[in-house]
Amino acid sequence: MTSTPSLTADAVLAEIPELVPYTRDAVVLHPERAEPGFRDSSIGGPLLWPRDEPWPECSLPDETDPEGVPATAMVPVAQIYRHDAPGPWWPADRDVLQVLWCPNEHWDPPARQADAAPVLEVRWRRAADVTDRLTTPPSPSRCDEDGYLPQACTITGDPVTDLPFREELPAELRARLEDLVRAGDGGDGVTRLAGWKLGGWPTWHLTHPRVFACRDCGTEMALLFTVASDDETEVVVGRWGDLRIFACPADHAHAFQADLH
Ligand SMILES: [Zn+2]
Ligand SMILES: [Zn+2]
């Protein structure tokens, strides 16, 4: 799990107030093995799903079946109720965020999906709209990897202030932040905070920072959700990496983009 940060965001911002415009709200989600209900925020738990809405399935070619047949049911990855993780990422009239995926590895998925990863689906809901709930969603007909079947966990939201990776800062600010980190015990507990999270900054420890433009309107997309690899959920993506969902801040109905890091 997350280690004790050697620096706090407050301490960094007091020392370098020029970083304030670079801060982003985030909620780090701490998973704990449990039996969540459909009214709970969860990872790998039951979703509040309308009976009359088709359950998402995937018919893209995957590692197991090069034809992608038969289409396979997706599985719940996360369900977040707004009251458990309030923040600027919520559309005004929605209070549930649901993330599902096809638990198979896809080598050449549509461009907005991450390569060599499960194919994602995102739904925003109003809980009050779901009066007749689907109680027995279908199970996937095939699954490549155990790491793509999250163990059911409840989650506790930890609101934090997240700072960008140093490469995303102007050189002068980057140097001052690096000095500050070095003056402590060398640990960096203030930038691109690790773990399952809503909002915040993505990590870019493998490649240079990348900006995604919304394919529908061109707006610069923001990190919405990070799927982390960890022992509690038994999710493993990439090489013990993160699968990130970027969303358009202008309109939640615009298509998300995913990347694996
Ligand atoms: Zn699939
Ligand atoms: Zn857009």
* Gap from CA of 247 to ligand 2 centroid (Å): 8
Find the ligand nearest to 106 CA: 1
- 159: how many CB neighbours lie within 10 A of its CB? 13
Find the ligand nearest to 69 CA: 1
* Gap from CA of 20 to ligand 1 centroid (Å): 41
* Gap from CA of 168 to ligand 1 centroid (Å): 34
* Gap from CA of 216 to ligand 2 centroid (Å): 5
pLDDT score, position 6: 62
Find the ligand nearest to 252 CA: 2
pLDDT per residue rounded down to tens, the chain (261 residues): 444 446 788 889 999 999 999 999 999 999 999 999 999 999 999 999 999 999 999 999 988 888 888 999 999 999 999 999 999 999 999 999 999 999 999 988 999 999 999 999 999 999 999 999 999 999 999 987 889 999 999 999 999 999 987 778 999 999 998 888 887 766 677 888 889 999 999 988 778 888 899 999 999 999 999 999 999 999 999 999 999 999 999 999 999 999 999
Find the ligand nearest to 247 CA: 2
- Asked whether 217 and 250 are in contact (CB, 8 A), the reply is yes
* pTM of the full structure: 0.93
pLDDT score, position 236: 96
pLDDT score, position 187: 66
Beta strands at 96-106 and 24-33: parallel, antiparallel or unpaired: unpaired
Find the ligand nearest to 257 CA: 2
* Gap from CA of 207 to ligand 1 centroid (Å): 26
pLDDT score, position 204: 83
- Asked whether 230 and 195 are in contact (CB, 8 A), the reply is yes
Where do the structural domains in the chain lie, given as residue ranges?
9-260
* Gap from CA of 112 to ligand 1 centroid (Å): 14
Find the ligand nearest to 120 CA: 1
pLDDT score, position 1: 47
pLDDT score, position 149: 96
CATH 1.10.3470 corresponds to the domain 9-260: no
- 71: how many CB neighbours lie within 10 A of its CB? 13
